[in-house]
Amino acid sequence: MELKTILALKDAATIVDTAIGVGRSHDTLPLTVIVLDVGGHTVVMKREDGSGIMRCDIGTGKAWGALGMGVPTRLLGDRLVDRPAFQGALAAVSGGRFVAVPGGVLIRDLGNSVIGAVGISGDSSDKDEYCAIKAAEASGFTPDPLLP
């Protein structure tokens, strides 16, 4: 297997296309998929026909939140459930780019370094997260979290 230490455009595009394919195979609602590099810059974003107009911002907020805090958004949501003031502060300091629900998945290279994140919005948060995890795995990266 090729050692991937950066998130190249072709790999980000593969993640996005694979996530949409996983969504289609599981009959999800239309998805919006965003891949950010480790600096939080959009590498690739696709929005399926019929995906709501806020989905780009929600997906970006999921990926941005995971990168910004260094943990997947499922874990963030769990940690912040009893800390609404801190969650509000994180949303404020991120300029609103912080969504702490499942669907923001870190992308790690084979050395376990974070090289980006994928955020998906469109269906339930659990289904969004599933598509993100499967797409990162299929693209040769280690997703964080892993599926149980």
pLDDT tier at 97 (50, 70, 90 boundaries)? confident
Mean pLDDT of the chain: 94
Q: What is the pLDDT of residue 147?
A: 79
Q: What is the pLDDT of residue 54?
A: 96
Cβ pair 72, 35 in contact under 8 A: no
Could you give the C-alpha distances from 130 to 44, 62, 83, 88, 120, in angstroms and in order?
A: 19, 14, 26, 26, 9
Residue % of the chain over a pLDDT of 70 = 96
Q: Indicate the pTM of the whole model.
A: 0.93
17-39, pLDDT tens digit by residue?
999 999 999 999 999 999 999 99
pLDDT tier at 86 (50, 70, 90 boundaries)? very high
39-83, pLDDT tens digit by residue?
999 999 999 999 999 999 999 999 999 999 999 999 999 999 999
Q: What is the pLDDT of residue 79?
A: 93
Over its C-alpha atoms, the chain yields an Rg (Å, rounded) of: 14
10 φ, ψ to 5°?
Answer: -65, -35
Say whether 1 sits in a helix, a strand or coil.
Answer: coil
Q: What is the pLDDT of residue 111?
A: 87
> How is residue 103 written in tokens?
């669907």
Q: What is the pLDDT of residue 6?
A: 82
DSSP 51-104: --TTHHHHHHHHHHHHHHHTS-HHHHHHHHTT-HHHHHHHHHHTTT----SS-E
Say whether 145 sits in a helix, a strand or coil.
Answer: coil
pLDDT tier at 4 (50, 70, 90 boundaries)? low
* CA 143, chain centre distance (Å): 10
User: Between 73-80 and 84-93, two packed helices, what is the crossing angle to 10 degrees?
Assistant: 130
Q: What is the b/e burial string over 32-52, where b = at least 16 CB atoms within 10 angstroms of the residue's CB?
A: bbbbbbeeeeebbbbbbeebe
